[in-house]
Amino acid sequence: MKKLIGVAALALCGLAGAQVTPPEVARQQQQELKRGDPPRWSQPDRSEAAQLATLRKEINAALREALEACKQQGAGANSDCVREARSTAQSDLANARQIHLATRDLSRTFETSGK
């Protein structure tokens, strides 16, 4: 009997981990895919302020990706991996204007590692 309960519990855990998209959400997703990308996604940022705002979003997205990679490695909240990711993001945010200027002139590069 204990073995049967253990097998049933294991099966339920497996089902709980499976992701199922609700039908109404799936329909909405299909409608959005048919319409395509909004026009604003292909319009470049014209002003420097808009370009800097986009750069900050990209830096923060890179930080989230780096923190997720740290989690996948099993690194804790105070690990070297997390500290390095946060330090890099903080440095990039502090130097956002210089990074932005360097990307406008692709013949120059801006080194963020401090080397």
Domain boundaries defined on the chain = 46-110
Q: What is the mean pLDDT of the chain?
A: 80
What does the DSSP 8-state code read for residue 41? G
Output the CA angle 111-95-105, nearest 5 degrees: 60
Q: Tell me the pLDDT tens digit for each residue of 61-105.
A: 999 999 999 988 887 767 899 999 999 999 999 999 998 888 877
Token pair for 50:
């808009």
Whole-structure pTM over 0.75, yes or no? Answer: no
Looking at the chain, the whole-number percentage of residues with pLDDT higher than 90 is 35
pLDDT of residue 7: 47
Measured distance CA(100)–CA(58) in Å, rounded: 12
How far is residue 97's CA from residue 89's CA, in Å, rounded to a whole number? 14
Please state, in angstroms and rounded to a whole number, the distance separating the CA atoms of residues 70 and 34.
36
* 55: Cα separation from own chain's centroid: 14
Percentage above 70 pLDDT, the chain = 73
79 burial type by CB count under 10 A (0-12 exposed, 13-18 middle, 19+ buried): middle
- Position 115 scores a pLDDT of 55
